[in-house]
Structure 1
Amino acid sequence: MTSVESPEASAELAPPPPFSRTAPRLRSLTEVLAETDEKMRTGRAAGARVWPTGFDTLDVALTGGFRSGELVLLGGPQGLGKTAMALQMLRNAVSASRSAVFFSYEHDAHSVLERLLAIEAGAIAGSDGISLTKIRQRFEARHSNAHSMLERFSNATGGAEAIEALERYGDHLHVHTSSGLHTTLDEIRATVEGVVRQESQPPLVLVDYLQKVPVADFSGSEEERVAVVVEGLKDLALEYQVPVLAIVAAEKGSLVAGKRMRVNDLRGSSALAYESDVILILNDKYDVVAKHHLVYHLENAERFRQWVVMTIEKNRSGVDHVSLEFRKRFEQGRFEPEGRLVEEQLIEERVFRE
């Protein structure tokens, strides 16, 4: 896992590879046909590149995963695991020989490392893998005979194997410790260009989170600022032919127990809904199942709390208004990747509460 060079340093690197959008903006259809035919004759993909998320049922619904040029938004209530799920998607991409860059406005690079170790240990050893809490305790221990990460985690279930896995793909996962004051769209663009040149392949881009991206010398409303940011991220996705996954925050008024969050509950919802290609909304399953599943089957309550519901609110490339569910493994900062369609009836807003 590497840190990204500054834009000034990356500017001295070689020109961008052919998958950058360097072609003229205005072309005849004949030119497009010839270019597509040339790609097929030389064994290259003629359509969009696809980045599987590693969440099986989601990839089926998205007909493979995230696509080049797409802006994907992931929203939901605070504390429901949006960052965990997005980081798990990045881990799945780089472990499948792709590259990724993470603009983290919320966590420093070491915190990201801790989370990735827990995710990897869970992928290797299942629910028995070392927990995120224990990983942090081992890093924070001041007196230990272990003088390397491998020694410190050698007796932890899945720990040593997790470190070895991170070492295998770490060069291709780039963490940018971002600032709500300084990491503007221009900084994001320059950094992505540097990663494209370094990797010689387009990366999956994660922004955590969208409303934190500053706009220099801007004096408009937050809704207007969000519109500028979301338009800029969409342009970035198209220009470099990368998928951009952006976590989005909810309006404070929507953070109410028993309420099902939808697109219009996100901050700057009108611009987000218009510019994005895919919108994924997470909700706690307990909060969004219909009343009769709780009143007549009280044993379901605790079981439902162990699952998160992901609704595909928008999908320009496939089906939408589909609800999937994934089991939480928050002790490891992750979700079980084998999801399923939600069988229970869901509601807009639950009237029954404890």
Structure 2
Amino acid sequence: MNAIDDFPQARALYSVEAEQAVLGGLLLDNDAIDRLNGLEAAHFYRDDHRLIFSAVIRLVSANKPADVITVFEMLQSNAQAERAGGLQYLNAVAQSTPSAANVSRYAEIVRDRALLRETATAARKVLELVETPSPMKGAEVVDKAQSLLAQLASVGVRSEPKMIAELLVPVVEQVDERYHSRIEPGISTGIDALDRALNGGLHDGNLVIVAGRPSMGKTALTTDLGLNIAHAGRSVLLDSMEMSDSEIVARALANRGGINLSALLSGRLQDADWPRLTWAVQNLGDMRFAIDDTPAMSLLDVKTKAKAHKRKYGLDVLIVDYLGLMSGGEEKMRTQQIGAYSRGLKALAKELNIPVVALAQLSRKNEERPDRKPILSDLRDSGDIEQDADVVIFVHRPEMYDPNNPDLKGYAEALIRKNRNGALSDVPLLYRGALTKFEEWTGPLPMLSHGPAVRKRGIAAEL
């Protein structure tokens, strides 16, 4: 018969001794802070140890000595001394550590136990997902489980509410860095006027909706921006559910090479076009611009492929063309499905910390107005889109409604009608349709003639 000691013992999920050794080592030698290898207050199991560690870090970072007395004074000034055990406990921690020589090893133990605790928490959540009755399919449960486990890589152990005082310093430091380096805070779109309107370009974690009526050029604009971003050395993934990958590649060749798209598709190239085509091929070959033309993707497909692409190649911007062609979901009504897609893409943007650009259709309501300019309520299928989006851009080309006006030839507008972190504005652009390319408008703005609105007839007139 087996003795009790023969059974495997449960693994310890924390080490009070290692935590005390880290704190004692820091109190003995402040320079040991450089050997902690990313240890954070959240990695400590005990609340008093987290408070002491935070106080030490703040003092050392401010080039002030951190010893038993100074740490106690800081804790006392923040009304945390009693929670941290007081002066007596600080003395005990410092005296129980002979030296700071092995502080890096102690820090490694603390981080390792923190990861084990977070793994156990994630495992319990996964088991709950599996056992709790829900309409989620097996693949969706696996995707959720992968998301939970993927978060462990950062060992973001205890995500707790933070006081604004804790958040001020890093934000001000970012502002100072941008001021002195003149580095834009976002990912440049390649069009300066649009970057200025968007406070530096596309921002990580944002959902950007680009919408327009058919043939306005929303796919051309987003593809053009994606190529500009990839040309700058970043990684872009385009989920094209409307066009095939060969159509996107042909547009890209015309765009980069300055070649008439019709001539390219028909094969009727001029002698001068061949060097441009060769240059475009070389230029595109060096880009990290990927295309997935799988039709009718589900939200799960988009998320899974984006995560896999980021692991393999890195991912800076995801473009989804377009919301109305996505499929799947448990919602019965189409408006609810579209709302679920927009919420899911916003969550994906935050999870991967990248901008997600999604295309959307507009209803015909804008054609009933004299200026034909769309507004947020024109977004088709779901009002959730405008709520979930951080930025909403409407692609508007007045020449589509007044084709005989030569002043409007090529004139386009990017109408920013929602901008969570900036102002609303109209960005004038030049659309070179033969090249499917947008550029900054440099000439005087044309005079727009507002014709009569389209009048409803019959039953529609009474709605």
User: Is TM (by shorter chain) over 0.5?
Assistant: yes
Q: Quick one: which of 290, 306, 314 aligns to 1:174? A: 290
Q: Quick one: which of 394, 419, 435 aligns to 1:332? A: 435
Percent of paired sites with the same residue: 22
Structure 2 vs 1, CA of residues 301 and 346 (structure 1 numbering), >3 Å: closer, same or farther?
closer
Q: Give 1:69-84 correspondences, 5 Å limit.
A: 69-84=205-220
Which SS does the other structure have where 1:327 is aligned? Answer: strand
Which SS does the other structure have where 1:156 is aligned? Answer: helix
Q: Distance in 2 between matches of 1:91 and 1:111?
A: 15
Compute the TM-score of the two structures, normalised by the length of structure 1.
Answer: 0.73
1:105 aligns with 2:241: yes
1:248 aligns with 2:360: yes
Structure 2 vs 1, CA of residues 111 and 253 (structure 1 numbering), >3 Å: closer, same or farther?
same
From the two aligned structures, give the one with the greater strand fraction.
Answer: 1
Query: Higher RCO, 1 or 2 (CA under 8 Å, sep at least 6)?
Result: 1
1:161 aligns with 2:275: no
Q: Give 1:1-354 correspondences, 5 Å limit.
A: 25-29=159-163, 33=167, 36=170, 50-122=186-258, 130-138=259-267, 156=274, 158-169=276-287, 172-180=288-296, 183-200=297-314, 202-220=315-333, 222-252=334-364, 254=366, 259-286=372-399, 301-320=405-424, 322-335=425-438, 337-339=439-441, 343=445, 350-351=451-452
Aligned to 1:291: none
Return the offset for 1:226. 1.2
Q: Which amino acid aligns with 2:302?
A: I
From the two aligned structures, give the one with the greater helix fraction.
Answer: 2
Return the offset for 1:305. 3.3
Q: Which amino acid aligns with 2:452?
A: V
Q: Deviation per CA, 1:51-82, whole angstroms, max 9, x where unpaired? A: 11111101011111010000001111110111
Q: Distance in 2 between matches of 1:24 and 1:186?
A: 28
Q: Distance in 2 between matches of 1:178 and 1:20?
A: 32
CA contact (8 A) 1:20 1:241 kept: no
Q: Compare CA radii of gyration and give the structure with the larger one.
A: 2
Q: Which amino acid aligns with 1:232?
A: G
Q: Distance in 1 between matches of 2:326 and 2:250?
A: 24
Which SS does the other structure have where 1:51 is aligned? Answer: coil
Q: Distance in 1 between matches of 2:236 and 2:361?
A: 22
Structure 2 vs 1, CA of residues 307 and 118 (structure 1 numbering), >3 Å: closer, same or farther?
same
Aligned to 2:101: none
Which SS does the other structure have where 1:227 is aligned? Answer: helix
Give the RMSD, CA atoms, in angstroms.
3.9
Q: Which amino acid aligns with 2:276?
A: G
Q: Distance in 2 between matches of 1:216 and 1:91?
A: 31
The alignment of Structure 1 onto Structure 2 pairs a total of residues equal to 303
Return the offset for 1:279. 0.6
CA contact (8 A) 2:336 2:382 kept: no
